[in-house]
Structure 1
Amino acid sequence: MTGVHAGGTTGRRPEARRRSRAWRVGTPVVVLLSGALLAVSAPNSEGSDLRPGRYTDLAGLVEGEAADYRKVEESYQDLSDEVDRLSAGVGDKRVREARRRIATLRDPAGMTPRSGPGLQITLSDAPDELFDEAVERNRDLEPDDRISLNRFVVHQQDIQAVVNALWTGGASAVTIAGQRVISTTGIRGKGPVVQLQGQPFPQPYVIEAVGDPGALYAAVDADPIVQGYRKDADNPLIRMGWELDFEQRVEAPAYDGVVDLQYARPLR
């Protein structure tokens, strides 16, 4: 019998000793190789995701995730319609009062469509050839002289800065890629796409706002983050995509997605 006994351990079989030596030798080798790969990739990535989507099938990725989101949204809409049907027949005074309050808040919450004059702003990544040229130039430069590759892609903070500036300028409604932006809207970068309310959208990112065009433009023009982005748009070595157009009529559809409220609770 082999194993652990009260008086100590018995001898191991030869094959068990060979497997043990293989693990002792193989594990450090694997760890060292993994560290080497990380060391090689770190200087090029600069510690961030450099949009692997430049080299992958964006259309397939976006369509797959969008299809999953549409299924969830359809299920939510069916349940909401059922709740409305059931509550419409309730004669309770408190239910009627709640429904009146809901009707009053629908417009400021973004649940009704808006239209009117406004702005259209389009953000897009730098051209691929300029990105590739920057990678080549960086190889011959000292670290302090290299241009950051993060400056060649649109980040979620760029989109957020434009949207916040439009709100500051008095926008009554804002859309991204035709999707209405409300107070619970989350803008999150995820690999080669930006997720808006859980649904992925690839660049270019079209942002529209309903409001006084002059006031909207002044707010966007004064925003420091947007100013930094526009400098990269004017830089011939980067040429980030930036287009701003005054529109006589902007259509902002009502928000019809899932209203997902998340909040923290104090520890007790």
Structure 2
Amino acid sequence: MSSGAEPGRHIPAGPTAEHRARHGWISWRLAAPLVFVLTGVLFVASAHNSEGTDLREGRYTDLASLVSNESRQVSDLKREAAALQTEVDRLADGVQNQAVRRLQQKAERQRHAAGFTEVTGPALQITLSDAPADVINSSTQKVDRMIVHQQDIQAVVNALWNGGATGITIQGQRVISTTGIKCEGNAVQLDGVPYGQPYVIVAVGDLAALAQAIDADSYVQTYIEDSRQPDIAVGWELTALPSVTLPAYTGLRDLHYAQVAAS
């Protein structure tokens, strides 16, 4: 907040230094008791609201509850959407029209590439996590470098796609072309569902090609270098899995797109 004058506005001469000092002393004598009273009220209110617990601890507890509740609600909605999609598919199969049949067959051939079927094979599992609490509390580095951001997850996923991954999951959720990754407070949202760290990414594909793609990505390599710095220590763990089966995508399939506004 600036304390300077507005451009072009004249500032009248102020009181003398002696007058300001005397006025300030009188004002402080009058204001001090009020400040102490207000401080006591705020202290009591804080103690009451925290119910004897650390307010920061309560905030994190509330966050965990929020993540859990919203995840449960989204899971319920996904089950409802899946049931409705099954009904839509059943009704569509009953349509006796050659043009519709051809479109259905074309769509069926794209299900695997779109992520609507399971995929099995060797995989890389990469886990990203925030730095330990003691590092965050003692380090002189910026906190942003010690926590996982959406762009970190996106960089790893994009590198794995570049390595020819045939399927990817984040936190067990299948990633498709419309999957949204977004930071929301202390959590990361995937398609609107909040998840806390650590973030587990699994990619099925040729292990050598996937590893080479990770090595070739400059952003990911910077993240890995940060993970090796004792005063940053952001979490990185890579594991090769001989065989895993990734689930099919079961989220909503409707697409939202921009439209030109009517003139």
TM-score range, shorter chain: 0.7 to 0.9
Once the two structures are TM-superposed, the CA of residue 133 in structure 1 deviates from its matched residue by 0.8
Extract unaligned runs of 5+ from structure 2.
Answer: 1-55
Q: Is the 8 A contact 1:130 1:237 kept in 2?
A: yes
**1:53/1:103 CA distance change after superposition, 3 Å:** farther
Q: How do 1:238-253 residues align onto structure 2 when only pairs under 5 Å count?
A: 238-253=232-247
How many angstroms apart in 2 are the aligned matches of 1:109 and 1:53? 42
Which residue is 1:123 aligned to?
128
**1:178/1:252 CA distance change after superposition, 3 Å:** same
TM-score by length of 1: 0.73
Q: Is the 8 A contact 1:209 1:250 kept in 2?
A: no
* Partner of residue 207 from structure 2, selected from 194, 203, 213: 213
The number of residues matched between the two structures is 206
Which residue is 1:200 aligned to?
194
Q: Is the 8 A contact 1:124 1:242 kept in 2?
A: yes
Once the two structures are TM-superposed, the CA of residue 63 in structure 1 deviates from its matched residue by 1.1
Given residue 247 of structure 1, which amino acid in structure 2 is its aligned partner?
L
How many angstroms apart in 1 are the aligned matches of 2:204 and 2:127? 15
Q: How do 1:1-268 residues align onto structure 2 when only pairs under 5 Å count?
A: 56-57=60-61, 58-134=63-139, 137=140, 147-267=141-261, 268=263
Once the two structures are TM-superposed, the CA of residue 77 in structure 1 deviates from its matched residue by 1.4
Extract unaligned runs of 5+ from structure 1.
Answer: 1-51, 138-146
Q: The residue matched to 2:242 in structure 1 has which SS?
A: strand
Q: Is the 8 A contact 1:110 1:254 kept in 2?
A: yes
Once the two structures are TM-superposed, the CA of residue 55 in structure 1 deviates from its matched residue by 5.2
Once the two structures are TM-superposed, the CA of residue 53 in structure 1 deviates from its matched residue by 8.9
Q: Is the 8 A contact 1:54 1:192 kept in 2?
A: no
How many angstroms apart in 1 are the aligned matches of 2:154 and 2:106? 30
Aligned-CA RMSD value? 1.7
TM-score by length of 2: 0.75
